Structure 1
Amino acid sequence: MPKEIGDSTDKHSKTCVVLGGRGFIGRALVERLLKLGNWIVRVADSSKSPELKPTEPLLTDAISSGRAAYFQVDVRDKSQIVEALRGVSVVFFTDSMDLFPQDFYLCYKVIVQGAKNVVKACRECGVKRLIYNSSADVVFDDVHDIHGGDESLPYSGQFWDMVADLRTQAEALILSANGADDLLTCALRPCNVFGPGDQQLIPLLVNMAKSNWDKFIIGSGNNLSDFTYVDNVAHAHICAEESLSAQMDTVSGKAFFITNLEPMKFREFAFLFLERLGHPRPFINIPTHVAEHIFSLIKLLHRKSDFKKLDPSISIYKLASCTRTFSCLAAQKHIKYSPVVSLKEAMTLTVDSFSNLAIEPVFMRYRCSDEPSKIEKLLGGGQVADILLWRDERKTFICFALLGFMYHWFFLSGNTFVSSLAQLLLLTIILLCGHHVIQLSGYGSTVLRLPPSCFEISEVNVRSFFYAMKCMWDKVECLIKSLAQGEDWLIFFKVASFMYVFKWVVSQYLVHAIGLALVFVFSMCFVYEQYGEKIDEIAVIVYTIASKLTILLASKLPKPNSSYNPLTEKGSNRSLLDDRQ
């Protein structure tokens, strides 16, 4: 197969193998090599077939035209690697798996033993250049921050991640093989790689949001991190290959950090992604030492159980609680690397590719639906519902500020209610008269004069008001009659409890209760629209428990006397008279 590929292409083309070519970074590297046009690409991966997607027309056409070929290669088997490497001069070695299982033996065989097999196969096949995709995690421990770290940093030796430990061993193996049998090697250390097709960082953030950990900000939230777009990582591999082909001593046997050169706060990076995917920003701050104790306790409790569910929160805690920024001066100087995609553009492209993970904010669902929410129906719709449900933020804020002013004027100013009302009326009259005088004086005013209709009450509104008052009074009258007849203990308990609470609130905490009620109305209506189902479930549980307790208490009380019935009374008197006769 390699000979057929070489015959069908230009003699000036270079042949390379991308080990792990169907992985996250491998896909981007293959696509970039094919776009350059001067490469014959052998895609090597552990799958039986490349499983091409509709979004990969370039690779599909390249395989059809002979500019690309697919090899099934398990890096644990050196013979399969040799079969793919025969006749090539360059090997790009990336991870064949995007998500490694929690199996140390399997990961060791794939990463470390795989690296040994790749080196042996390269020397056996006469490969000239080997570029290994490592990670910046090889110098990161579980404790210390890294500010602008460069290649002089030693290997950590204390790893918070099993894969980082094994990658360190693989990188050391490949770099130590430099110069053997004319093989030149180098390693690239990208930091926090993301992009379309990512199965680690972005899904990690989304899983964190789904697990409700996105409500918390760990530490100060000012920890900086470097991020690298996947296309920039692919570009760095090509830059490294070109430098190795020039046999530069400053490149062979060396490792280089690769980033987007735009460090930013990790929380801001996460917020931007989660916000665009419909998740709210966090609002609860947890000190770092408290979060550390919480995660240590969780890890201890789940040590013997399925710990995979905790991996997102643990990993995010590690990333968000430490500063990790790296210097790319060596990569810029020696392999002529510079990002080809800015961080802003990279984030936009990545979010667009993960649109299937986007959720619609709960408070937006009813805006886009013709069906009103439950709380909107209870509020009767109209302007009141729009204000209390924050449909128009400007109008809601004005109403809340106005009610807050009224609350302060009547209850917190120190004056009596009557004097506050009189002062408010006097202030209103002065403002209206002053506005009228300004308009008559020719100065003009941007505030429109209130029409007389604003001070009028229509007959319909008056009738509706008195009708509502009459209905309310009828209900109160029926309730009083029921209480007077002593027919229902449940009604008695409800009324007695309400009167006691009302008396207690009015006598001691009336001012505070009105202020809390004002805040409660403007906040709970909005909250109920978002979490109505959960609140209803809790309310049903509380109501059921209270009802059962009330019924149990009522059953212990003596039964009430039967109600008075005139017909029954007359019948009993007549029968008594007949008996006497």
Structure 2
Amino acid sequence: MGGEEKWCVVTGGRGFAARHLVVMLIKYGMFSVRIADLGPAIKLDKDEENGVLGEALKSGRAEYVSADLRNKAQVLKACIGVVVVFHMAAPDSSINNHRLHYSVNVQGTQNIVDVCFKLKIKRLIYTSSPSVVFDGVNGISNGNESLPYPAKHYDSYSATKAEGESLVINSNGSNGLLTCCLRPSSIFGPGDRLFVPSLASAARSGKLKFIIGNGNNMYDFTYVENVAHAHICAERALASEGAVADKAAGQAYFITNGEPIKFWEFVSLILEGLDYERPRTKIPAFIVMPIAYMVEFIYKIFAPYGMKVPQFIPSRVRLLSVSRTFNGSKANELLGYTPIVPLQEGIKRTIDSYQHLRAGVQRERKGPSKAELLLGNGKVAETLLWRDIKQTLTVLAILAAIYFNFIATGFTFVTSLSKLLLVGSVFLFIQGKLPQKILGYKIEKIPESKFHVSEAASHHIALSVASIWNSAVRDLKSLCKGNDTTFFLKVVLSLLLLSIIGAVSPHNVFAIGLPLIFTSFAVYDKKEKAIDKLALKALSFGCRLKSCTTAKISNRKKKQ
């Protein structure tokens, strides 16, 4: 840095891509860097303490400021004395909270623009997203910047990002401010706390065995250092004098690695690099869509209580099965951007940075969750908590078949049972007639032993039935004595509950009860602490209400 010291500010400076930009700016020595983020103070990771960032903070070449974009006074304080703003702050896209996204992506961006005008800041580079031109349904192949915003975005994050992008582009040229917007596609690399960790977690729990769609959908993934490099290229282009800056300013740019790859091939390379098996079984998207719609319906019910957007909803299923590739020639021509790290090298660096997530690496065991304990920590828990996706989907398919063939038809219990036995008999007969191999595929025969009940098992069943009977007789004797009022109330309540359950039609059990069971336990497993906290609050409120009511009744009695 020659001459007068120049400062830049990076909003959301502790985010994934922003951290890499901060380090790159410090290394290049172009500016002193002000890191703006929500935290009251900066907390460095171990590798940062003695690295480029730690040294810069000690020497004064970098500083941290706590700032909430929704507070204009804090934004003003963060931007005083800077010549460039790299606006990278954005809320978590997985929380589909329109109010939050609008307040940050739109109102926060407007605050940035207003402060830039007031302080006569020269350049503003806004980090947007390719999702601003994605409708959540139709794929994009080699899309360029002429693509319009869709009539309706698939989530609030994309919609508000598009609004923020429009604000920045429309502010170009006012009060001497030059702006541009970057749309980096599917960022990956070291320091990512979402994409790779979620892949490893899903693979570890057996949830990544399937390919959604035909597996041929193409994607543009962008290594995080290339994203940081693109921001610096954009700033240099706007800082140039004359025609270069005039052409570059007021534009949006797709940023990619320039190496489109099949989405599922990319996922497989990451998984194999971490010693997990690549997904191989292909499931057409239209088959999983009904389940995705059901999950989305459950989400809409629980969203007001803090439930995050599930991964398995229709828009996410489409993201996994459609192509999203973009043409980066405009960024190359007007910003001078070309990737500095090739895709394969980026994948290698990413894998090397996540050695702690490799398959087989010992992790601290936290024990079974409360949901697992409630369900017996066995096959039922694995199914209802979606631990084994294949097993859960198999059970759902069987239940769906039972519903559509025996419940929805309106048959009586006897008729349904006879139909079920008929289908079973036909299946067993045909399966027994099939040859050992068909077109090279081995047909697994059901052995006779599967239907045989051993003498020991029969004896155990008989003892269990006798034990239940004797226990029931003891309870009846106790009831006949009339001494145990508590036990009597328990019996009455149990029978009332049984009568209520008996009044529920099989149709309602399948249509309402089963989806509720398959989602409620899974939700509790993920949100155990939040739900327990809410339950404690409700219990506490109930206790206070009871105390107040009791006190009021007592006071009235005293007055009488």
TM-score class normalised by the smaller sequence = 0.5 to 0.7
Looking at structure 2, the residues matched to 555 and 110 of structure 1 have their Cα atoms a distance apart, in angstroms, of 64
Q: Distance in 2 between matches of 1:13 and 1:555?
A: 87
Is 1:175 the equivalent of 2:169?
Answer: yes
1:7-18 equivalences under 5 Å are 10-11=2-3, 13-18=5-10
Name the structure 1 match of 2:311. 312
Q: Is this contact kept in 2: 1:205–1:316, CA < 8 A? A: no
The answer to whether the Cα contact below 8 Å between 1:273 and 1:351 also exists between their aligned partners in 2 is yes
1:374 maps to what in 2?
none
Q: 2:215 aligns with which of 221, 239, 255?
A: 221
The residue matched to 1:312 in structure 2 has which SS? coil
Give distance in 2, aligned partners of 1:263 and 1:75: 35
Cα shift readout 1:365-386 (whole Å, capped 9, x = no counterpart): xxxxxxxxxxxxxxxxxxxxxx
Q: 2-side partners of 1:249 and 1:304: how far apart?
A: 49
CA distance in structure 2 between the partners assigned to 1:213 and 1:343 by the alignment? 26
**Displacement after TM superposition at 1:96 (Å):** 4.9
Match of 2:266, SS state, is helix
Give the Cα separation in 1 of the matches to 2:230 and 2:172: 19
Q: TM-score, normalised by structure 2?
A: 0.63
1:13-39 residue CA offsets vs partner (Å, 9 max, x unmatched)? 532111111111110100000110232
1:519-538 aligned at under 5 Å gives the runs: none
The equivalent of 1:44 in structure 2 is 36
Distance (whole Å) between structure 1 residues aligned to residue 204 and residue 464 of structure 2: 45
Report 1:40-439 matches (<5 A): 40-56=32-48, 57-97=51-91, 101-210=95-204, 212-247=206-241, 248-305=245-302, 308=307, 311-314=310-313, 316-360=316-360
Residue of structure 1 equivalent to 2:27: 35
Question: Are the structure 2 counterparts of residues 302 and 155 from structure 1 closer, same or farther at C-alpha, using a change threshold of 3 Å?
Answer: closer
- Determine the C-alpha separation between the residues in 1 that align with 2:237 and 2:78: 24
Q: Given residue 61 of structure 1, which amino acid in structure 2 is its aligned partner?
A: E
Q: Give the deviation of 1:105 after TM superposition.
A: 1.5
The structure-2 alpha-carbon separation of the partners of 1:511 and 1:130, relative to structure 1 and needing over 3 Å to count, comes to closer
Give yes or no for contact 2:217–2:322 (8 Å, CA) kept in 1.
yes
SS in 1 for 2:310: helix
Contact 2:12–2:88 (CA<8 Å) still a contact in 1? yes
- Asked whether 1:552 is paired with 2:462, we answer yes
Shift of 1:548: 4.6
Which stretch of the first structure deviates more once superposed, 31-40 or 316-325? 316-325
Q: Cα distance 1:114–1:553, how it changes in 2: closer, same or farther (>3 A)?
A: closer
Summarize the Cα distance change of 1:93–1:181 in structure 2 as closer, same or farther, 3 Å threshold. Answer: same
Deviations 1:63-109 (A, max 9, x none): 11111111111111111111121121111000254566443212221
Task: List per-residue Cα deviations over 1:524-571 (Å, max 9, x = no partner).
Answer: xxxxxxxxxxxxxxx9xx989981577539999xxxxxxxxxxxxxxx
Structure 2 residue ranges without an equivalent (≥5): 363-427, 467-560
Which residue number in structure 2 is paired with residue 400 of structure 1?
A: none
User: How far apart in 2 are the matches of 1:101 and 1:551?
Assistant: 51
CA spacing shift, 1:310–1:242, aligned 2, 3 Å = closer
Q: 1:543 to 1:228 in 2, by over 3 A?
A: farther
Q: Deviations over 1:223-276 (max 9, x none)?
A: 000011111011000000011011422211100000000000000011111222
Tell me how far apart the structure 2 counterparts of residues 149 and 271 of structure 1 sit (CA, whole Å).
Answer: 25
Q: Distance in 1 between matches of 2:10 and 2:453?
A: 64
What SS does the aligned partner of 1:89 have? strand
Cα distance in structure 2, aligned partners of 1:175 and 1:288? 37
TM-score scaled to structure 1, two decimals? 0.61
2-structure distance, mates of 1:101, 1:509: 54
Q: 1:90 to 1:104 in 2, by over 3 A?
A: same
Distance 2:172 2:113 in 1: 10
Which letter does structure 2 place at the counterpart of 1:298?
V
CA 509–349 in structure 1, closer or farther in 2 if over 3 Å, else same: same
Equivalents in 2 of 1:343, 1:266: separation in Å?
13
Q: 1:544 to 1:356 in 2, by over 3 A?
A: farther
How many residues are treated as equivalent by the alignment?
Answer: 386
Q: Contact 1:256 / 1:331 at 8 angstroms: preserved in 2? A: yes
Task: Give the secondary structure class of the aligned counterpart of 2:65.
Answer: strand
**Equivalent pair of 2:142/2:327 in contact (CA under 8 Å):** yes
Q: Equivalents in 2 of 1:86, 1:250: separation in Å?
A: 28
Residue identity matched to 2:275: G
Per the alignment, do residues 10 and 220 of structure 1 end up closer, same or farther by CA in structure 2, a change over 3 Å counting?
same
Contact (CA 8 Å) 1:207, 1:312: kept in 2 or not?
no
The answer to whether residue 12 in structure 2 is matched with residue 20 in structure 1 is yes
Larger Rg: 1 or 2? 1
* Two-structure CA RMSD over aligned residues (Å): 3.5
Separation of aligned partners in 2, 1:554 and 1:241: 78
Equivalent position SS for 1:338 = coil
AA aligned to 1:153 is L
What is the one-letter code of the residue matched to 2:171?
A
1:297-342 per-position Cα deviation (integer Å, ceiling 9, x unaligned): 3323453236957622336523221111000010000000000111
Deviation track 1:29-57 (CA, whole Å, cap 9, x = no partner) reads: 00000110232111111111111122121
**Compared CA separation, residues 305 and 341, structure 1 to 2 (3 A):** same
- Code of the residue aligned with 2:11 in structure 1: it is L
What is the identity percentage for the equivalent residue pairs of Structure 1 and Structure 2? Answer: 41
**In the alignment, is the contact (CA less than 8 A) between 1:93 and 1:130 conserved in 2?**
yes
Give the distance between the partners of 1:212 and 1:310, measured in 2 at CA: 21
1:453-472 equivalences in 2 (<5 Å): none
Shift of 1:281: 2.0
Shift of the 544–358 alpha-carbon distance from structure 1 to 2, 3 Å rule, reads: farther
